[in-house]
Amino acid sequence: MNRLSCKRTIATVTSTRAEYGLLRGLLQKIQASPALELRLVVTGAHLCGRLGRTVAEIEADGLPIAARLPILDETCPDEPVARTIARTIAVFDDEFTAHRPDAVLLLGDRFEIFAVAVAAAARHIPIAHISGGDVTLGAADESYRHCITKMAAVHFPSCADSAARLLRMGEAPDTVFCVGGLGDENIRTLPKMSREELCRSTGFDLMQPFGLVTYHPETACDAGDPAAQADALCRAMTAVPGVFWLITGSNADAGGAVCTAKMQDFAASHPDRAGFINSLGLRRYLSAMNYAAVVAGNSSSGVVETPTFGVPAVNIGSRQAGRTLCANVICCEASAPAIEAALRRALTPRFRQIARTAQSPYNGGDTSARIVKILETFDFSRPKVFYDGPGTGSGRA
């Protein structure tokens, strides 16, 4: 507890543009809460030049940044993940020693966030975890996410399937709050650009039919070659006529730099058919999704957020395998013929009509306000127990 203000200090960590886009509204509400003190810690890709230094988006929103903690090696885009994890644990152990919060709020499943959770758990600092219980079989994030769950004191899953999975993992029911998805809330509440504004902002003609494309490397142990998969996507985009491809950069995972380079080369080689922007930022990204004829790639947003818009989505490969899917999503393998066929189907009037009927399972109403209320009142001093199910009792973990 912050002794001077009698507020709870909630340290919130953001490492990527996508994560910050989801957290943005929640951070503003934490900052406005009379019972909470926001300590915003910025790290990872936000502070990395080769990944767009997206901390500028946070600065533009005017949120107070309490600490900027670099963890990525600018000179080594393919540094082994284990080394980055080790560095991140050390950096955040220093942070939590110098500035001990009442709780650490973390979203998702990336290796950087896992490392932050390890540092917090080792210092016996309670963790509040957003989006636990999800499944992404094609990414190493799968194991990181579930590890964070077992370290967390309170859980904010984004849909009923994920909440039920947390209970099966042994999390006590009174620590699991199915609040809905922050991405869904953003879509419903954030003012979008007009199509004309989007054209001016990106510098591309998006009055024509366009596809929004984000492709990340697969990181499961049996993942294929990211360069070959990115090439397959580029060949498929070339083969599908009548569509301009608006492409964003890949993430900081191993192989991400290769995927980004492939997409940049494709856009440079097809200036009349494609444009590349490393990071669109939240408002431009959601605005682009709103007007897109199709959303393609393997980003979680293609599965989780497109149903709210009712836009067709093509989910490539296995990175998002296991997530709850809606009627607007077509899944395909990461080969050029399969991607081309899926894109062509997604662009048909018949499938567009199917996509419009999609019902998102992630609508929890005022998700961010619900999270804030729980952060204000949850008893973080309670011991964590393993929940064995109804009528079986529970023992301390």
pLDDT in tens, 182-199: 989 999 999 999 999 999
Look at residue 394 and tell me whether its pLDDT is greater than 50.
no
pLDDT in tens, 310-335: 999 999 998 888 788 899 999 999 99
Token pair for 47: 């502070």
Token pair for 366: 């005022």
Q: Nearest 5°: phi and psi at 70?
A: -65, 140
Coil/strand/helix, residue 246? strand
pLDDT in tens, 220-272: 656 678 899 999 999 999 999 999 999 999 887 778 889 999 999 999 999 99
Look at residue 397 and tell me whether its pLDDT is greater than 50.
no
Average pLDDT score over the chain: 92
Look at residue 130 and tell me whether its pLDDT is greater than 70.
yes
Coil/strand/helix, residue 211? strand
How far is Cα 247 from Cα 211, in angstroms, rounded to an integer? 8
In the prediction, which pLDDT does 4 show?
Answer: 54
In the prediction, which pLDDT does 232 show?
Answer: 96
Look at residue 15 and tell me whether its pLDDT is greater than 90.
yes
Q: Nearest 5°: phi and psi at 393?
A: 75, 180
Q: Which domains does the chain have, with CATH numbers?
A: 8-181+364-392 (3.40.50.2000), 193-356 (3.40.50.2000)
Look at residue 396 and tell me whether its pLDDT is greater than 50.
no
CB 50 within 8 A of CB 75: no
Look at residue 284 and tell me whether its pLDDT is greater than 70.
yes
In the prediction, which pLDDT does 224 show?
Answer: 75
Q: Confidence band (pLDDT; 50, 70, 90) for 181?
A: very high
Q: Confidence band (pLDDT; 50, 70, 90) for 395?
A: very low
In the prediction, which pLDDT does 18 show?
Answer: 85
Bridging pattern class, strands 210-214 and 294-297: parallel
How far is Cα 328 from Cα 255, in angstroms, rounded to an integer? 28
Mean pLDDT of 216-220: 79
Token pair for 393: 């009792």
How far is Cα 164 from Cα 109, in angstroms, rounded to an integer? 18
Look at residue 68 and tell me whether its pLDDT is greater than 80.
yes
Look at residue 390 and tell me whether its pLDDT is greater than 80.
no
pLDDT in tens, 335-384: 999 999 999 999 999 999 999 999 888 888 899 999 999 999 999 999 99
